[in-house]
Structure 1
Amino acid sequence: MNFLLNTLSQRANKKPQETAIVSGKTTLNNQALFNAVTELADQLKPFQFQCIALYMDNSINWVFADLAAMSLGITLIPIPLFFSKGQIQHLIKDAGIEAILCQEFDSEIFAIQERLTLSHAQLVILKNDTKLDSGQLKQVAKITYTSGSTGQPKGVCLSLENIKNVSLALAKTIKDHGIKRHLCIMPLATLLENIAGIYVPLMMENSIQIEPLSELGFEQSSQFNPEKFAQAIECYQPDSLILLPQLLKSVIQLKQTTPSFFNSLKFAAVGGGKSAQSALEKAHELGMPIYEGYGLSECAATVSLNTPDNNKVGSVGKVLPHTQVRIDESGEIIVSGQAMLGYLHQDDLNQGQKNNEVHTGDLGYIDDDGYLYISGRRKNLLVSSFGRNIAPEWIESELIHSNNIKQVAVFGDAKPWLNAIITADLSTSNDQITLTLNEINQSLPDYAQVKSWIRSDEAFSTQNQLLTDNGRIRRDAIFSHYKARLDALY
């Protein structure tokens, strides 16, 4: 029995009536959760699947499917709902997916051989001529597809040991902070929410609140309704949740207008991109327990984390006990001790990473107290025509924290000054944006100031391929789209 099924069994035996998961009007106790997972596993077992996918909105059934597949040793691939038709078809073929567990299915996306109704999901068996050799997925418990900054998504292969170690490390790190109820506000298909929002609370004997993302104010992959989000927080009163950096500005504004907002929160982790230090300082000034962390899919989602006991605003916290970090001579962050098995189709997939190391591509340093700091992406580093090295993420994080700028991409490699592509609300005038830029520039050194800018034609999104699945901007795509106008600025 794997570690999570053992956890479910122990919870069911020790406290069968204790609440495990709540969704809408449904409350599931420990015994009911264990029964539902084993029931679905029993229904899946006769098919002897090697690799299946999970394609659902956040729900209790998502958790049943995830845990049932894990209990049978089936390689599971969660598919984000915001993946495009082309991306989904690519990964079905790429991974040789045999079937999909879903609530609804789209015949335009899936080539269906057979559809069956199971106890907690629809099982769609696919017509798929591509099937991977059984030995290739021998140790792979989960494949998480990361859309990256360019090209087709790549499959990051994680073992059960990877998942177990990071889950145990997170549980140990946050166990003394009074957390009893976690609210999932990121897609469960996102590895960070899957591990930190499902596995860790289950291991800590906490309860989990799961609602469809639209009920929480996430109406599309890049559309957010702060009023609806505030209502959800007030209704569910969570102790913990996970935020993306682009939500940080909104929750701070909500706290400023409604002082009781977030009062139930004991711990909110923010990760998935660079957060403005000024925003984190403001959050703490308002008494909001928001702590920045760092990780990547290749390291099973989490590498370091600030906590109430150990926190330095501006850092991404201390490295978790299950892993090690070093900084190489170029300033790149190298993670070891908890690397992925590899990328799907890698020749030595089941041998793990060479030297068990992941070259993150991120630049950073570790201070004397052991806190890790992220400077930016190595490949994104801009070198001005005056020879200054500039990490655009640093400037972007400060700009996004302002009220008038929603999204921004900073450019200026080999140029005398920096420029930016800026997304703003329709109600925000160009003069307001210019005024905001001038104010922020005063806090930046002259070489890092944005001297010219262009208003974007539309918001960066996954639909127009200008945003990755986890909310990061696609720099190359944005630069290509606006290149002529950017060149005209000089």
Structure 2
Amino acid sequence: MSTETGQLESPAPQIVAEGGRVVQAAVPPLVEPPRSGSLADIPFTNAAEAPREVVLSRKDDADGTWRDVTAERFAAEVTAVAKGLIAAGLKPGERLAIMARTTYAWTLLDFAGWAAGLVTVPIYPTSSASQTAWILADSGAAACAVENVEQTRLVTGRRAGLPELRHLWQLDAGAIAQLSTDGAELPDALVTSRRQGLAPASTATLIYTSGTTGRPKGCVLTHGNFFAEVDNATELLHPVFKSVSTEPASTLLFLPLSHVFGRMVAVGCLRARVRLGHAPSIATDDLLADLAGFRPTFLLAIPYVLEKVYNTGRATAEKMGRAASFDRAAAIAQRYGQALVARQTGTGPGPSLGLRLAHALYDPLVYRRIRAALGGKVRYAICGGSPLGKRLAAFYAGAGVMIFEGYGLTETTAAATVTPPLAPRLGTVGRPLPGTAVRIADDGEVLLRGGQVFRGYWNDPSGVPQVEGWFPTGDIGELDADGYLSITGRKKEILITAGGKNVAPAPLEDRLRAHPLVGQCMVVGDNRPFVTALLTLEADGLKHWQRMRHKEDLRIAQLVTDPDLLAELQKAVDDANSTVSRAESIRAFRVLPVDFTEESGHLTPSMKLRRSAVATDFTEDIESLYPRR
């Protein structure tokens, strides 16, 4: 069904209940899956149908301006690079690895690889030498493109153990131009022939899961998996991908293209002809500058970025002596956002007159500044990776940026559920994406089924893991009566205290990480008498706190025991505890003088905790939180 704006309403989910509990929700697809073709065709279809339409913008490194790239121009560049890959002797089905930050060259190489009939293999630019070597060896990559000389040295140092790797190209040393030159004499028909050899069932990419334990596994995703994902997502999220205003839809991608979420966005934008830009750095100053220059209409984000914008706004207000005013504005925005959602879902009348007047007062003072930090034109944000939290989602809705939360895995080509635009429900990760079904197993595990579910793991003949025909996610969740999914934790991460209480650490950790002083958090309590936590400090938030309290001279070793800082963190812990029962609450915490990072081995490239590594390296700190037996 369509609304007056032309926006498609999500079909009502088909609900299955057993014993008074909703155990399954399924939504039929909005579009039919393609029976032929591949992702490689997207640039050429765009060039044929809308050659002058702007599909990308790239930042000029010399002067920082954004220069538009038309569909015709992008298709020509894809052809030129694809011919270079063919000239290098790469055969259909061979693997091309890409190790770089989020740049125009990454997306260009991705589509050129597909146009040459290759399978692309992303590698996180922060990966270690051993991680990189493992992915290159396991995938049998015949070629690898890296961004800089450091990565060239990293791969070269392991080259002896990579007999199948025939080519190594460095992007910032002119690799794209060189490939285009190398293939200049080949006919374009060779690229057309390679593309015609692909079908929806052909393998498009191997994306290696970062994994919190063990070696990464390569998820085999087909061109059809991506079509099932992006075609239904762009139809469902009509106001995002197909702007209903006079402002053409556009987004600045700063998520890593090595991650399935960022990759899906790039494919979806090219498929929907949404102007796409790339931002290689999420450092606060760099990202805010790129947002201001590009001025996107929507964003794809992880909670960390939205939390950072909020916390930076509050820190600025505190420096100006207006912290109390910001907090009042935030509270009003939350109430306003909740009222807006209630009106949309038919559960309330919407904002009252008094609330509307208060909101209008704070819009130029606070909310407009928040929108300006995102570029000024952002009205929608799709958030994934971990739950954003109901309060922050309501704040952004009240500030004029509607958040669509989603949930998915690498194995499901990103989103399996997403918030329907016309029926948001704060605090959930939405309903099944059209064409997807969600089931809750007896033990609470979330099971999935749909066209975006992967083919299996590379070099693993056992196929897709299944529980009675469903893909088991390893996450614990629940469905409500309307088919909205809430994620409560990871199956393997459920803690069982000595008293037998089951505790899901993720909700507590997510709530704590939203505090401006908290960098990372790990909740502890398995086989322990009560729940405790290890906290690390967020660098920017800590510097601001020190300035405001005239404690710039204190070193980190002194700060972790500073009574004022501990009192502030105790408030954050109390706030998190207010969401759980007494038996699940954090009774004690310890502040560490170091952060959990990927480099230290405590985080995966997608920012997930390696719990066993943290527990091993900080055993003494954990033991200090419990009485000696």
Q: Same fold (TM over 0.5)?
A: yes
Match of 1:202 in 2: 270
1:118 CA displacement: 5.2
CA shift digits 1:20-44 (9 cap, x unpaired): 1111133211101001111111221
Mapped to 1, the partners of 2:202 and 2:487 lie a distance apart of 32
Query: Are the aligned partners of 1:303 and 1:320 in contact in 2 as well (CA < 8 Å)?
Result: yes
Partner Cα distance (1:331, 1:438) in 2: 27
Deviation, structure 1 residue 95: 1.3
The higher relative CO (CA closer than 8 Å, separation ≥ 6) is in: 2
Identity value in percent: 23
In the TM superposition, what is the alpha-carbon distance from 1:384 to its structure 2 partner?
A: 1.9
For residue 193 of structure 1, report the CA deviation from its aligned partner: 0.8
- Find 2:259's aligned residue among 190, 199, 207: 190
Give, in angstroms, the shift of residue 121 of structure 1.
Answer: 6.3
SS at match of 1:13: helix
**Cα displacement (A) at 1:248:** 2.5
Aligned-pair CA distance for 1:459: 1.1
Mark the CA change 1:259 to 1:162 in structure 2 (over 3 Å): closer, same or farther: closer
| SS in structure 1 at match of 2:144 | strand
Contact 2:84/2:179 (CA < 8 Å) preserved in 1?
A: no
Is the contact between residue 337 and residue 356 of structure 1 (CA under 8 Å) also seen in structure 2? no
* C-alpha RMSD of matched pairs (Å): 2.4
Correspondence for 1:63 = 107
In the TM superposition, what whole-angstrom CA distance separates every residue of 1:121-160 from its partner, at most 9, and x where no partner exists? 679xxxxxxxxxxxxxx94220001111112221111111
Cα displacement string for residues 307-346 of structure 1 (whole angstroms, at most 9, x for unaligned residues) = 4312111110111112211111111001112321111111
- 8 Å Cα contact 1:12-1:34 kept in structure 2: yes
Say which of 489, 497, 521 aligns to 1:408: 521
The answer to whether the 8 Å contact 1:340/1:352 transfers is no
Question: Match for 2:130 among 81, 86, 92?
Answer: 86
* Displacement of 1:170: 1.2
Q: 403, 406, 416: which one pairs with 1:293? A: 406
Alignment of 1:76-475 (within 5 A): 76-105=120-149, 106-110=152-156, 111=159, 119-120=176-177, 139-177=202-240, 178=243, 180-196=249-265, 198-211=266-279, 213-214=280-281, 218=282, 224-225=283-284, 227-254=285-312, 258-261=369-372, 262=374, 263-338=376-451, 339-349=453-463, 357-424=470-537, 425=539, 426=542, 427=546, 429-475=565-611
Deviates more, 1:353-362 or 1:199-208: 353-362
Gaps of 5+ in 1: 124-137, 219-223
Larger helix share, 1 or 2:
2
Question: Which secondary structure does the structure 1 equivalent of 2:599 belong to?
Answer: coil
Compared CA separation, residues 17 and 283, structure 1 to 2 (3 A): same
Aligned length: 464
Measure the CA separation in 1 of the matches of 2:400 and 2:412.
Answer: 31
| Letter matched to residue 35 of structure 1 | A
Q: Deviations over 1:154-197 (max 9, x none)?
A: 1111111111111111111112342610110111121111112x
Counterpart AA for 2:436: T
**Distance (whole Å) between structure 1 residues aligned to residue 395 and residue 53 of structure 2:** 37
Q: What is the CA–CA distance in structure 2 between the aligned matches of 1:299 and 1:101, rounded to whole Å?
A: 26
How far apart are residue 255 of structure 1 and its match? Answer: 5.2
Cα distance between partner residues in 2 of 1:305 and 1:442: 27
Aligned 8 A contact 1:376 1:393 in 2: yes
Q: How far 1:245 moved relative to its partner?
A: 1.9
1:345/1:6 Cα in 2 relative to 1: closer, same or farther (>3 Å)? closer
User: Paired residue for 1:127?
Assistant: none
Aligned-residue offset at 1:254: 4.3
- On the 8 A contact 1:104/1:122 being kept in 2, the answer is no
Alignment of 1:29-68 (within 5 A): 29-46=70-87, 47-49=89-91, 50-68=94-112
Question: Secondary structure of the equivalent of 2:515?
Answer: coil
Letter in 2 for 1:244: I
- Call closer, same or farther: CA 1:183–1:408 in 2, change over 3 Å: same
**Which shows bigger deviation, 303-312 or 422-431?**
422-431
| Counterpart among 39, 42, 57 of residue 22 in structure 1 | 57
**SS class of match (1:468):** coil
* Cα distance change, pair 60–432 in 1 and its aligned pair in 2 (3 A): same
> How far apart, CA to CA, are the structure 2 residues paired with 1:28 and 1:376?
42
Instruction: Name the TM-score, length of structure 2 as normaliser.
Output: 0.70
| Alpha-carbon distance change, 282 to 384 in structure 1, aligned in 2, over 3 angstroms | farther
Q: Which amino acid aligns with 2:275?
A: S
The letter for the 2-side match of 1:485 is D
Distance 2:220 2:59 in 1: 33
Native 8 Å contact 2:408 2:416 kept in 1: yes
Q: By how many angstroms is 1:260 displaced?
A: 4.0
Q: Per-residue deviation at 1:385?
A: 2.3
Are the aligned partners of 1:361 and 1:377 in contact in 2 as well (CA < 8 Å)?
A: yes
Shift in Å at residue 265 of structure 1? 1.1
Distance change >3 Å, CA 435–CA 59, structure 1 → 2: closer
Q: Which residue of 1 aligns with 2:351?
A: none
Relative to structure 2, which stretch is displaced further, 7-16 or 369-378?
7-16
Residue type matched to 1:83 in 2?
A: S
Q: Distance in 1 between matches of 2:115 and 2:286?
A: 36
Q: How many Å apart are 1:120 and its aligned residue?
A: 4.2
Q: Which runs of 4+ in 1 moved over 6 A?
A: 351-355
CA contact (8 A) 2:603 2:610 kept: yes
- Look up the match of 2:341: none
Q: Deviations over 1:37-87 (max 9, x none)?
A: 111112212413311201222222211110111123211101110111110
Q: 1:281 to 1:114 in 2, by over 3 A?
A: closer
Q: 1:383 to 1:59 in 2, by over 3 A?
A: same
| Corresponding letter in the other structure for 1:173 | L
CA contact (8 A) 1:244 1:273 kept: yes
Deviations 1:348-376 (A, max 9, x none): 45x89686532100011111111111111
User: Does the 8 Å CA contact 1:61/1:121 hold for their aligned counterparts?
Assistant: no
- Is this contact kept in 1: 2:119–2:205, CA < 8 A? yes
Q: Structure 2: state its 5+ residue gaps.
A: 1-35, 61-66, 160-164, 181-200, 318-368, 547-558, 560-564
Whether the 8 Å contact between 1:265 and 1:289 is mirrored in structure 2 is: no
**Which residue is 2:358 aligned to?**
none
Q: Judge conservation of contact 1:274–1:393 (CA < 8 Å) in 2.
A: no
Contact map agreement 2:445 2:491 (CA 8 A) in 1 = yes
- Name the SS of the counterpart of 1:406 in structure 2: strand
In 1: Cα distance, 2:83 partner to 2:257 partner: 23
Cα separation, partners in 2 of 1:331 and 1:53, compared to 1, 3 Å: same
Deviation of 1:272 (Å):
0.9
Bigger Cα displacement from structure 2, 278-287 vs 75-84: 278-287
Amino acid at match of 1:238: P
